[in-house]
Chains A and B, each alone.
Chain A
């Protein structure tokens, strides 16, 4: 099995006459965390939406382990192994934490025809839910209503739900947004662990966090790919410095 899990080949997305993404190419590799950087409006969300199937690309192809998945919709992409979290917390606020995770785990083996089975009796699903809650550190909150969790805990829950789908590729849209520094560092630690067996695409504003955990960084500006490279390469890339980062960011 190739370690190149997800390959985006010259993805373009136009809205009317405007190009939100222009020929953006990325490769996500197992064991590596790839960060997507760019100022607001650079097209990061459009890019992640095309990868997750929320938005069809106008041009370009997407491959998962060598298979062309451009035509698959969001549920189908989730089922092949691409999981995503959202910038704005996207959970089931009225359900318990356990049920949020359980429902996510159930998606791997849906058993829709077993109309009279008890969903809470499906051992494999329940075990998976408990495992992912433990992994992100939410097992103590299992029976709380998700909507009553703190913002940081809701972000953790969101990650737990993606993990419950056994995704090989994680597309994480600003998982640190709105977190306190302690919660954020715990999340960074979690990302560090998760990367070992998966490929991660991280869209993030927190520069320190990005340079601390990323193996590779891609910088988008105005919908175009400006540079791709290791953190050190990006740090010293002249174009990137001029176009986006500014001197201060490096000395801060």
Chain B
């Protein structure tokens, strides 16, 4: 592998990892703060991709689709929390697994009823459609760089939200001591709703961003869900920075796995997880955002 193709693969790994981080960070926050395991989180990624497809067709641009789609996803997330997930908090993990598994079946069929089972493509915005030449044969697509940039900006934003804002303080307190938070007069219902909506919106945004570079089709949520689990296991439940670390690790393992051992690429990320489990069964960074 020469230096340029190495550079291309590295950029791909980072971009893939960052996109995964968007999905996994919501998952880990919901785990860490509300203590629920949500198998349907991958469905939000899928919903985002379909939203990108629908809104891009309607408005003519992915940018508009995102501008309209993210607030919409937040609203839907808040509504889902208020109507459905609020019933999960007091239940044990087994029931949460089954209920959210049931939701996956329902979401998949609703998708099939509403938009059918065809595979779609989404056009990337014209101004991001070019690519940057690296040498005579290799070039790198601007759109992938843009995805990475958006994700980095969001990760920084998340950092400020959690570390520097009042909401973030409440989130951190909520993840450590529920009773204390209640005693301080902080409205835990609101925190849960906001965190959940945020998680849904980030997963949906990841789906929208990914739509132009992967196809939009049935069951696209399942794979992302399981990879997000791997990320969360590697990083440690409840740790956003663990999720970032885990996501990048998975990005590299998957991307370079495909180059080095194409047949075993699918299994590579799980080997990384197995290694982490042997070394640190509770994840690289334990709880504490």
Is there any pair of Cβ atoms, one from A and one from B, under 8 angstroms apart in the complex?
no
Residues of A whose CB lies within 8 Å of any CB of B are: none
